[in-house]
């Protein structure tokens, strides 16, 4: 049987969410054939181990250690039989036509390499999932909270109509359908990204090669968000900036990296000072984590 879509889910100690995700896929209506590939990055939770037996038709790839999001997806790509590759987070719930709307978009727009769903929070509110590509200026505005003064540095997703495709720079990888022929043209995901920024790099390379990326609001997916990364907050915080520095170095060069590190340095100093003042008036885990995270960023920034 010809397979239209290969659904790839990378999981790490989120068995309860993974089971709900898998159940939602099987319950949703679709006009396309699909296979499910789950790459488990060395999970130790009991629920994940039980899922191996509950879903024998799924292609399971079991890693002994956590290889990261990009490397795990590349493993799935290597065995995927579909012409389309759907990167789907384990902490998502899909609905009827979640997949079909994405597939229809790629069939309609032959110049689109990747398209993402309209992600919703648990309360049904819109989750921001599309961003312009990061630049030194945009990072400066973001880090110093200057978005009100410079609103054009980001997208106003809440104003976008929910019945019309939007062509964007970057679509979040929580639900991202990729044309495998486009992927074959630019190469696999860059495994130097362990976690974070890998889809930014992918979308950037697609656009650089002449493809477009799109947001498909008729494809609705609920996304809990951050269930794997919550298990190691400080390391993941550092990983976010390490991968972003790598992105800048790879695509913009050494001078931009140097200037970005300068911006990060002063932003981190500001955050640490803010954390100390917060502690003076009211000690809280938030202020302590703020100080801890940015202090470690300062300690590591030169090595990144």
What number of other Cβ atoms are within 10 A of residue 161's Cβ?
8
Going from the C-alpha of 122 to that of each of 178, 252, 288, the distances in angstroms are 25, 37, 28
Torsion, Cα of 263, 269, 272, 278 (10° steps)? -100
Torsion, Cα of 26, 31, 34, 40 (10° steps)? -40
Which residues of the chain form beta strands (DSSP E)? 5-11, 34-41, 59-63, 84-88, 92-94, 112-120, 130-131, 166-168, 170-171, 175-179, 212-223
- Please state, for a pLDDT cut of 70, what percent of the chain lies above it: 97
The residue behind tokens 């410079």 is 150
Count CA atoms closer than 13 A to 95's CA, side-chain side: 12
- As a whole number of angstroms, the distance between CA 289 and CA 273 comes to 13
Look up the CATH superfamily of 5-229. Answer: Spore Coat Polysaccharide Biosynthesis Protein SpsA; Chain A (3.90.550.10)
Number of H helices, E strands in the chain: 10, 11
pLDDT of residue 229: 47
Q: Given the DSSP bridges, would you call strands 112-120 and 175-179 parallel, antiparallel or unpaired?
A: antiparallel
> Which token pair is 14?
């989120």
pLDDT of residue 227: 54
pTM, full prediction: 0.92
183 close to 86: Cβ distance less than 8 angstroms: no
Residue pLDDT tens, the chain, 304 long: 799 999 999 999 999 999 999 999 999 999 999 999 999 999 988 888 889 889 999 999 999 999 999 999 999 999 999 999 999 999 999 999 999 999 999 999 999 999 999 999 999 999 999 999 999 999 999 999 999 999 989 999 999 999 999 999 999 999 999 999 999 999 999 999 998 999 999 999 999 999 999 999 999 999 998 555 455 578 889 999 999 999 999 999 999 999 999 999 999 999 999 888 887 777 667 788 889 999 999 999 999 9
Tell me the longest C-alpha to C-alpha distance in the chain: 65
Bridge-partner residues for 88, per DSSP?
175
pLDDT of residue 282: 73
pLDDT of residue 49: 82
DSSP 174-188: TEEEEEHHHHHHH-S
pLDDT of residue 246: 97
119 close to 175: Cβ distance less than 8 angstroms: yes
């Amino acid at each position: 049987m010809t397979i239209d879509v290969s659904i790839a889910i990378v999981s790490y100690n989120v068995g309860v969410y993974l089971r709900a995700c898998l159940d939602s896929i099987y319950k949703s209506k679709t006009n396309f054939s699909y296979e499910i590939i789950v790459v488990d990055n060395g999970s130790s939770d009991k629920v994940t181990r039980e899922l191996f037996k509950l879903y024998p038709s799924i292609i399971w790839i079991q890693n002994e250690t956590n290889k990261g999001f990009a490397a795990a997806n590349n493993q799935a790509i290597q065995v995927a039989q579909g012409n389309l590759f759907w990167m789907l987070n384990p902490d998502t719930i899909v609905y009827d036509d979640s997949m079909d709307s994405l597939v229809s978009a790629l069939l309609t727009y032959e110049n689109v390499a990747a398209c993402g769903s309209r992600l919703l929070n648990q309360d049904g509110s819109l989750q921001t999932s599309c961003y312009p590509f990061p630049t030194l200026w945009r990072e400066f505005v973001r880090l110093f909270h200057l978005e009100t003064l410079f609103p054009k540095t980001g997208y106003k997703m809440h104003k976008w109509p929910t019945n019309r495709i939007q062509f964007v720079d970057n679509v979040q990888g929580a639900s991202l359908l990729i044309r495998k022929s486009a992927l074959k043209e630019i190469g696999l995901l860059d495994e130097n990204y362990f976690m974070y920024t890998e889809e930014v790099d992918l979308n950037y390379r697609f656009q650089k090669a002449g493809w477009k990326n799109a947001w498909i609001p008729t494809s609705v997916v609920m996304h809990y968000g951050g269930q794997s990364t919550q298990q190691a907050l400080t390391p993941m915080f550092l990983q976010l900036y390490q991968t972003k520095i790598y992105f800048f170095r790879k695509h913009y060069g050494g001078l931009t990296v140097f200037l970005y590190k300068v911006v990060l340095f002063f932003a981190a100093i500001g955050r640490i000072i803010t954390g100390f003042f917060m502690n003076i008036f009211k000690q809280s885990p938030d202020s302590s984590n703020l100080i801890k995270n940015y202090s470690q960023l300062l300690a590591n920034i030169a090595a990144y």
